[in-house]
Every structure is written in structure tokens, then in C-alpha cells.
């Protein structure tokens, strides 16, 4: 494995924020670290980058134990949520900043910088100041600034959270494309489940400092190991059927039927373009979300029965 976290833990005072966390990632894969606010994602990332010391455990990159190395000695680079670009420098100067400390001559560094700006289609902005470029463009600059030092592992801490919904989708596609093309090993922190599913070769779900499950998006979605993973990744229903059994299923796994396993009343209907979403209240006052083909139209207030497909 290329990146290995072995039983790492971190406490702040009495509070244990990361608890005995182990995970590994092959070279060239993108891992999405997914979890609710405060579950320890950023703390985990900071331990990999070296900005925080681990209390326990080991971190290995490409077989090298980096647990006690200073941040600048680690073959790791981070793209922060705030981008952390230098406002008084031009785009190009920002991109080549990290090369200064590597003994690369200015001329060569500038040539490299232009090459990297080309990757994200930004070479014409080389001389612009940071304030003159848009949020999406700043994101691109932050990305290539981290890539230019050729880190073995690139860490991204909610890098898209400052962008509007449309740009987020565009930028995540760009990041994925670059990641695949250059076979970069990445850890991408997000609390957006859709982002995690689209981007990740692997998804690691964290809860209260612990790893709940790690696997391919499909694996985690279709075979959640426990209730937390099921509820966290995608929408999940839990209700009691007419035989008294507890049923857990996804909205798309249910359909309206003449004779189903649960009865209820349609409380709300939503048209979402390529599907319809229904909110059904059962006789036991449990709430179920159902997603159907958009051609299936049921009036609000109607009594219905549902069946697991
Ligand atoms: N330097 C610190 N000192 C004390 N407590 C801290 C420190 N850094 C983080 N914490 C606490 O550790 C917990 C985990 O924080 P962390 O930033 O890792 O969470 P997160 O999963 O990245 O959350 P978010 O999605 O909101 O960024 C939080 O309760 C936070 O308040």
C-alpha cells in the first residue's frame, strides 16, 4: 500500500478526536474521507501532513515511515479549503512558491510554473494578481501549486466548499481528470456524500474519530456495514412492515403496489426532473421516502401500499 495509517490517535486535552484509525490506499487512488462536522477528518489530514503530531500510531508513504518528520520534509502537499494563496503575489509566483525551497533556479521554476498552469488552462493568467481571478480559478491555482512539488500524496481539505453548486461540480470533474491522468494519490476530505461517491475510488466513513467503513462507493452504498454507514451515505428508510419486521431500504428500492408490505398515506410529492420523490407516512406514523420513475404520479393524501422491489 502507498499510504498507510496504522492505529493513529489524537487527543486535545481530555478529548480523543481520532481513535485508533487504520486505513490504507494504493498508489494513484483517490480516497474520500467522509463524515459529519467535527468527526476528526481535518485532524486526520493534519496528522498526515505533519501539522499535527500523532499521539499514537504510524504513518507510512511509499514504505517510508513519516510519522515524526517535519511537515516540509514529508512527501505530502495540502490544498486547503481557503486555498491559502498569497494575495500580494501573481498567479505564477504563487504556483512556483514551493519550488524556492528546493534549489530550483528562478528561470526553470517559471517554465515549470507555466507548464503546470497549462494543465488547468490558466497560462494566460500567469501575471494576474490573486484578487483578479475568480474562485474557481483560485481553486485551480491552489491545486497546481500543490502539484508542482510532485508530492507522493496530495491532501485536499474540503477544497470545493467555497464554490457555488455548479462550479463545485465542474471543479470536481477537473480534479478527478487530473488525478486520473497523473495518477496522483489523493485524500479528499468532504462532508458531501455525492462528492464522495462521484470522486472516490474509495470512501472512508468516519464517525466520532473512528473509521466506520472503507470501500468502493458502490460497496459502501450497497453493503453498509452498520446503521451509521447506511444512514450517512445516501438516504435510508427504516420502518415496520405489516408483519412487525423492521425493514431498512433505500428510497429507490421501494415501489407502490396493490398489495404491499406496508400501508401509508402520501404526504408530499416532488417532481425532481428524472425521478419523483414521495414522502409517505405509515399507519404507525413512520416516515418513508420513495423514489419512483417520473411517470408514476400519485396524488398527495392518497392511501397507498409499498413493496420492497
Ligand atoms: N487544535 C485543537 N484544539 C482543541 N480541539 C480541537 C483542535 N482541533 C480540532 N479540535 C476538535 O476536534 C474535533 C474534530 O475536529 P476536526 O476539525 O478534525 O473535524 P472535521 O471532521 O474536520 O470537521 P469539519 O467538517 O467541521 O471541518 C472537533 O470537536 C474540534 O473542535
To the question of domain 236-308 being in CATH 2.40.50.140, the answer is yes
146, 84 Cβ separation under 8 angstroms: no
* Cα distances (Å, whole numbers) of residue 175 to 78, 80, 167, 216: 14, 14, 12, 18
Q: Whose CA is nearest to atom 24 of ligand 1?
A: 37
Give the per-residue pLDDT at 83: 78
Q: What separation, in Å, do the N-terminal and C-terminal C-alpha atoms of the chain show?
A: 39
Q: What is the pLDDT of residues 228-242, one digit of tens each?
A: 898 888 888 999 999
**Angle (nearest 5°) at CA 47 between 53 and 196:** 165
- pTM for this model (two decimals): 0.84
Q: Whose CA is nearest to atom 9 of ligand 1?
A: 43
Give the per-residue pLDDT at 171: 85
Give the per-residue pLDDT at 7: 98
Longest dimension (CA), the chain: 76
Range(s) of the chain covered by CATH 3.40.50.300: 3-230
Q: Which residues line ligand 1 (CB under 6 A)?
A: 12, 17, 35, 37-43, 191
Q: Whose CA is nearest to atom 29 of ligand 1?
A: 38
Give the per-residue pLDDT at 91: 95
3-230, what's its fold? Rossmann fold (3.40.50)
> Among 261, 262, 279, which Cα is nearest to 270's?
279
Q: How many CB atoms lie within 10 A of CB 34?
A: 29
Q: Whose CA is nearest to atom 8 of ligand 1?
A: 43
Q: How far is the CA of 232 from the centre of ligand 1 (A)?
A: 19
Three-state secondary-structure class, residue 67: coil
Give the per-residue pLDDT at 42: 95
Beta strand pairing call for 3-12 and 56-61? antiparallel
Interface pTM (ipTM) of the complex? 0.95
- For the chain, residues with pLDDT lower than 70 are none
If you search the block for the grid coordinates 514504505, which residue do you land on?
A: 63
Give the per-residue pLDDT at 43: 96
Exposed e or buried b for every residue in 56-72, given b needs 16+ CB within 10 A?
A: ebebbbeeeebbeeeee
Q: How far is the CA of 207 from the centre of ligand 1 (A)?
A: 12
Q: How far is the CA of 71 from the centre of ligand 1 (A)?
A: 19
**Residue 31: in which H helix or E strand, if any?**
strand 30-35
Range(s) of the chain covered by CATH 2.40.50.140: 236-308
* Cα–Cα distance, 301 to 287 (Å, whole number): 14
Amino acid at each position: 500500500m502507498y499510504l498507510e495509517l496504522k492505529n493513529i490517535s489524537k487527543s486535545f486535552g481530555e478529548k480523543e478526536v481520532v481513535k485508533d484509525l487504520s486505513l490504507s490506499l494504493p498508489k494513484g487512488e483517490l480516497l474520500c474521507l467522509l463524515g459529519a462536522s467535527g468527526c476528526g477528518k481535518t485532524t486526520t489530514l493534519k496528522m498526515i501532513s505533519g501539522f499535527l503530531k500523532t499521539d499514537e500510531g504510524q504513518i507510512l508513504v511509499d514504505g517510508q515511515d513519516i510519522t515524526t518528520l517535519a511537515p516540509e520534509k514529508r512527501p505530502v502537499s495540502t490544498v486547503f479549503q481557503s486555498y491559502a494563496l498569497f494575495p500580494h503575489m501573481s498567479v505564477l509566483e504563487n504556483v512556483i512558491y514551493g519550488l524556492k525551497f528546493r534549489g530550483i533556479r528562478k528561470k526553470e521554476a517559471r517554465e515549470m510554473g507555466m507548464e503546470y498552469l497549462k494543465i488547468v488552462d490558466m497560462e494566460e493568467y500567469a501575471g494576474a494578481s490573486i484578487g483578479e481571478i475568480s474562485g474557481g480559478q483560485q481553486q485551480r491555482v491552489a491545486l497546481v501549486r500543490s502539484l508542482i512539488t510532485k508530492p507522493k500524496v496530495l491532501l485536499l481539505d474540503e477544497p470545493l466548499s467555497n464554490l457555488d453548486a455548479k462550479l463545485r461540480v465542474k471543479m470536481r470533474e477537473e480534479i478527478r481528470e487530473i488525478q486520473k491522468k497523473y495518477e496522483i494519490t489523493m485524500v479528499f476530505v468532504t462532508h458531501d456524500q455525492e462528492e464522495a461517491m462521484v470522486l472516490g475510488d474509495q470512501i472512508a466513513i468516519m464517525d466520532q474519530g473512528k473509521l466506520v467503513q472503507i470501500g468502493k462507493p458502490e460497496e459502501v452504498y450497497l453493503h453498509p456495514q452498520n446503521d451509521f454507514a447506511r444512514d450517512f451515505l445516501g438516504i435510508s428508510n427504516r420502518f415496520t412492515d405489516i408483519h412487525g419486521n423492521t425493514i431498512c431500504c433505500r428510497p429507490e428500492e421501494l415501489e407502490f403496489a396493490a398489495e404491499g408490505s406496508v400501508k401509508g398515506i402520501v404526504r408530499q410529492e416532488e417532481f425532481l426532473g428524472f425521478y419523483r420523490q414521495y414522502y409517505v407516512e405509515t399507519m404507525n406514523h413512520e416516515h418513508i421516502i420513495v423514489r419512483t420513475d417520473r411517470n408514476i404520479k400519485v396524488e398527495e393524501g392518497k392511501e397507498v401500499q409499498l413493496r420492497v422491489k
